[in-house]
């Protein structure tokens, strides 16, 4: 059983954080916090556990943040003692190869997607009864028992197999193509964020960022609320072209306050000591980058009484954030994470089911989003390309596959 993982070994974590920005390939050395190799033969630890063989896995920014320690070791998730090892790769398409005697959800040969495995243990995987309030509501990411004693899943998408609890995977419908199945997880991130606070028809919406999540968020908004007027901030020409193809009504090519005011039908007021402020900005902003710069920008570009949804994940403290728009303009700042359960038009179901419905109805067009494919054995090249330290190719989604 092969896997790439990162251990919460603080000296190696700090060393990787210091050296990796200067020497990217340091992460593959014995001194880094990351490891790539064999875990040996791992038996199923209980009757409701399964083994799956990976067929493909996309490379996500969160994988790169952990691998290159862009994530700060001081952030809140790192405090949980149950999270001592992070197996990389969660955008998986896998096939069940072995099941325990108590498994009822899957049979050998079923195609599955990763659900909660990457986020760690929860009441379902630990088989705790009664469940905590979050697991009882099927919000497993927020389980209050995730650091309790019990079996943990082993392996991730950056490897050949995974051993996990049956509840930590999700069945992939037969009608999905392999590429649709492979992109279901990242699309679910966009769906979860949009349905957390959906725009109203006719509202002016801004999507900040045109990486894969920003592009998918643009697509999802136009699929679910086609009457919304969507502007996408995209830096590079290939991102701008893709955003237009996915339904963006307008493209913003940089941080231009005057252009933002015009697109949002607001007014720009300059200031001598800062970048100024847009009054009457966008009704709703989805920040798909969510770093200090884009968070500050979002709060200044949204209208008074508007909402900023942080879809992106910046796994480090952000000390220099100007929060005055939250009280001065009564802006609502909303967080979202992963996928789970979503309600839309009075119907509540798992985010994946909304994605599957979107594919079945022809609302989600993924043509051209997977730009590069590598065999698993070439994981170093795949990671280098996805991380952007081997030139600047026109990559959107980099996929490793069998």
Give dist(CA 94, CA 324) in Å, integer: 46
Contacts 24+ apart (CB under 8 A), 287-291: 287/208, 287/209, 287/311, 287/312, 288/193, 288/207, 288/208, 288/209, 288/211, 288/213, 288/214, 288/217, 288/312, 289/208, 289/209, 289/211, 289/214, 289/314, 290/314, 291/318
Q: Which domain holds residue 280?
A: 190-338
Give dist(CA 374, CA 309) in Å, integer: 33
Judge whether residue 367 has pLDDT over 60: yes
> Which among 318, 338, 358 is the end of a domain?
338
**Are both 165 and 201 inside the same structural domain?**
no
pLDDT score recorded for residue 74: 75
| CATH number (domain holding residue 136) | 3.90.180.10
Residue 352 covered by a domain: no
**Are both 143 and 205 inside the same structural domain?**
no
Give dist(CA 165, CA 304) in Å, integer: 46
**Are both 147 and 220 inside the same structural domain?**
no
**Are both 125 and 251 inside the same structural domain?**
no
* 3-state secondary structure (DSSP) of residue 227: coil
Tell me the mean pLDDT in the region 385-398: 79
pLDDT score recorded for residue 81: 63
Residue 345 covered by a domain: no
Q: What is the pLDDT of residues 263-311, one digit of tens each?
A: 999 999 988 877 888 999 999 999 999 999 999 999 999 999 999 999 9
Give dist(CA 53, CA 111) in Å, integer: 9
Residue 62 covered by a domain: yes
**Are both 205 and 168 inside the same structural domain?**
no
Residue 181 covered by a domain: no
34-38 β-sheet, strand order: 34-38, 2-7, 85-87
**Are both 254 and 164 inside the same structural domain?**
no
Q: Look at strands 229-233 and 250-252 and give their pairing.
A: parallel
**Are both 86 and 234 inside the same structural domain?**
no
**Are both 246 and 133 inside the same structural domain?**
no
**Are both 246 and 152 inside the same structural domain?**
no
Counting the structural domains of the chain, the total is 2
Residue 344 covered by a domain: no
Give dist(CA 147, CA 143) in Å, integer: 9
CA atoms within 13 A on the CB side of 172: 24
pLDDT score recorded for residue 108: 98
Q: What is the pLDDT of residues 206-265, one digit of tens each?
A: 999 999 999 999 999 999 999 999 999 999 999 999 999 999 999 999 888 999 999 999
**Are both 152 and 212 inside the same structural domain?**
no
**Are both 122 and 201 inside the same structural domain?**
no
Q: Higher-confidence residue: 183 or 402?
A: 183
Residue 227 covered by a domain: yes
**Are both 333 and 256 inside the same structural domain?**
yes
| CATH number (domain holding residue 244) | 3.40.50.720
Judge whether residue 76 has pLDDT over 80: no
Residue 200 phi, psi (nearest 5): -85, 155
Residue 302 covered by a domain: yes
Residue 151 covered by a domain: yes
> Which among 338, 364, 381 is the end of a domain?
338
């Amino acid at each position: 059983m092969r896997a790439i993982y990162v251990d919460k070994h603080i000296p190696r974590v700090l060393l990787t954080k210091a050296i990796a920005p200067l020497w990217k390939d340091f992460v593959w050395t014995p001194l880094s916090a990351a490891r790539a190799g064999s875990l040996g033969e791992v038996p199923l630890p209980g009757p409701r556990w399964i083994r799956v063989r990976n067929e493909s896995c996309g490379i996500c920014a969160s994988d790169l943040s952990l691998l290159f320690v862009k994530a700060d070791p001081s952030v809140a998730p790192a405090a949980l003692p149950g999270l001592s090892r992070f197996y990389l790769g969660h955008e998986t398409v896998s096939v069940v190869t072995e099941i325990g005697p108590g498994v009822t959800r899957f049979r050998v040969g079923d195609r599955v997607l990763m659900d909660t495995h990457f986020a760690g243990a929860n009441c379902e995987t630990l088989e705790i009864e009664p469940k905590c309030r979050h697991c009882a509501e099927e919000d497993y990411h927020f389980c209050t028992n995730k650091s309790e004693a019990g079996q943990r899943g082993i392996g991730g998408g950056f490897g050949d197999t995974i051993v996990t609890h049956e509840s930590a995977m999700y069945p992939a419908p037969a009608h999905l193509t392999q590429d649709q199945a492979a992109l279901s997880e990242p699309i679910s991130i966009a769906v979860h964020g949009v349905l957390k606070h959906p725009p109203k028809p006719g509202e002016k919406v801004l999507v900040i960022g045109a990486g894969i999540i920003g592009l998918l968020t643009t697509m999802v908004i136009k699929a679910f609320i086609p009457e919304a007027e969507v502007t996408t901030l995209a830096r590079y020409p290939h991102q701008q072209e893709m955003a237009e193809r996915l339904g963006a009504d307008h493209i913003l090519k940089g941080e231009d306050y005057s252009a933002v005011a015009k697109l949002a039908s607001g007014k720009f007021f300059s200031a001598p000591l800062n970048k100024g402020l847009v009054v009457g900005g966008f009704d709703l902003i989805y920040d798909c980058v969510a770093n200090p710069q884009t968070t500050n920008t979002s709060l200044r570009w949204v209208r008074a009484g508007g909402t900023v949804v942080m879809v992106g994940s910046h796994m480090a403290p952000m000390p220099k954030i100007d929060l005055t728009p939250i009280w001065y303009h009564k802006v609502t700042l909303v967080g979202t994470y992963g996928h789970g359960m979503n309600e839309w038009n009075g119907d509540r179901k798992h985010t994946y089911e909304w994605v599957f419905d979107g594919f079945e109805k022809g609302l989600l067009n993924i043509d051209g989003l997977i730009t590069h494919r590598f065999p698993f054995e070439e994981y170093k090249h795949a990671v280098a390309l996805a991380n952007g330290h081997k030139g600047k190719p026109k990559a959107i989604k980099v996929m490793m596959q069998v």
